[in-house]
Structure 1
Amino acid sequence: MEEIFKNKMLLVVAPHPDDEVLGCGGLIGKVKKEGGKVYVLIMTAGVSPLYGSTYNLEGFLKETADAMKFMNIDDYEINLGPEFNNKLDTLNQLKLMDIIERDSKLALNKIKPDIVAIPFPSAHQDHVVVYQAALRACRPRPAELKPFQSIVLSYEYGQNQWASSDGFKPNFYLNIENFIDFKCQALSFYKSQLRPFPQYISEEAVRTLAKMRGIDVGVKAAEAFQVHRILV
């Protein structure tokens, strides 16, 4: 299984900046360590003056750029303007799917990733519609018709359990004992988004969730995912 990430290309589809770190910070570190490439397709970035938020868009975009540089991300793109932040559900699903499948410079049809990580649909409307669009964009077709991604995973973040009664049911775990510090350092660049524990965008919450998922599988720290497809 160690070879599963070696020299592979990972595309993380993120509704907003910081989602890629919360859900896939360890996975990103692992793929880069194994000689692979990592791209982050972000739908939108904006200012949400809720729950103690006091930040401006320019500063948030700088934080995003700094986090991407720290993680050695090969490329990233924010595809929609701030007017769509927390309003992605007002867009046609076909629009979102087209961004992921063909329109973004990091679209599936252009970079042809081996692995795609998409957000699990929590109660956040942006995460729900991005999940739906990304899953449709990854639908299987013969290789001569469209690029095929051999691994498609949904990633977890702190509020996943505040979702439908089905909830997040992890069935793929990544040991991130050697990457939890990397993940927390990457998150630290998003200073405007950090909150005191027990809010989920905090270093303590990230480490606590990693420990809990580690307990699931007998390691000190893990990231959990829900598998949609693995072809070997």
Structure 2
Amino acid sequence: MKRVLVFSAHPDDEALGCGGSIARWAEEGVAIHLAFIADGIGARNEHSAAEKTALQNRRAAAESAAGILGATSVHFDDLPDNQLDSVPLLEITQRVEALIVAHQPDTVVTHHAGDLNIDHRRVHQAVMTACRPQRGHPVRTILCFEVASSTEWQPPGSGAAFEPDWFVDISATLPRKLAALDAYAAEMRDWPHPRSREGVEHLARWRGATVGCDAAEAFMLARALR
């Protein structure tokens, strides 16, 4: 693993889903590039001035979180929040493809296919389309993460279940994951909401306990070429 490109629908998904792994990989010398496909604000129906301020604040939070985690670069796209089903899949895919060409990642990390949030599902679909296994394609590993308050909220039978088979030990980097989420304070909720600081830590501790370490992040492997 030399270059990782993380595709998230919204700023904060990356910290929730794989913040500890990003921090660990960065410490190991891996170049981590973050890409946010939707603006994360537009669905809130705020007045234009307030919406502009909210967008600036959300992007500033993402930049701060990226710095905490050790990411190499951050890319913000401008597709509409919680409305990616209104955008042609081809358009989303082409934006994903352009970033893959620019960064030449060997590993791509993105959302799970069965999340409740429509933007998560569309980003997953666009990434898988952009990463069709063709000769010369740079991506050799694709991992899908879970996002608290979306992945587990999809009821049985309504989407693919998240059944992790790849774990990253984040015992040493869990504090940085939580610090990155502190940068997204406006997006966090109070306990016992799953997107609370306590909820995120409990999930990391549980994922760790299932594989014999203090804390972990769980993924589903979509593809690995060795």
- Scaled by the length of structure 1, the TM-score of the pair is 0.87
Deviates more, 1:33-42 or 1:65-74: 65-74
Tell me the distance in 1 between the aligned counterparts of 2:27 and 2:70.
10
Q: Does 1:161 find its partner at 2:152?
A: yes
Structure 2: how far apart are the matches of 1:214 and 1:68? 23
Structure 2 unaligned segments of length 5 or more: list them. Answer: 46-50
Counterpart CA distance in 2 for 1:114 and 1:59 is 31
- Paired position in structure 1 for 2:48: none
Q: CA deviation at 1:49?
A: 4.2
How many equivalent pairs are there?
214
Give CA deviations for 1:195-227 in whole Å, capped at 9, x if unaligned.
Answer: 101222221111111111112111111100000
Letter of the 1:126 partner, please give it: D
Say what the alpha-carbon RMSD is for the aligned residues. Answer: 1.7
Q: Write the distance in 2 (CA, Å) between the matches of 1:76 and 1:44.
A: 13
**Which position in structure 2 is the counterpart of 1:59?**
57
* Distance in 2 of aligned mates of 1:222 and 1:126: 25
- Deviation larger for 29-38 or 158-167: 158-167
Report sequence identity in percent.
30
Structure with greater proportional helix content: 2
TM-score (norm 2): 0.89
Name stretches of at least 5 consecutive residues in structure 1 with no aligned partner. Answer: none
Contact 1:187 1:203 in 2 (8 A): yes
1:1-232 matched pairs, under 5 angstroms: 5=1, 8-47=2-41, 48-49=43-44, 56-81=54-79, 84-102=80-98, 107-121=99-113, 122-143=115-136, 147-158=137-148, 159-163=150-154, 165=157, 166-232=160-226
In structure 2, the residue corresponding to 1:25 is in which secondary structure?
helix
Code of the residue aligned with 1:62 in structure 2: it is A
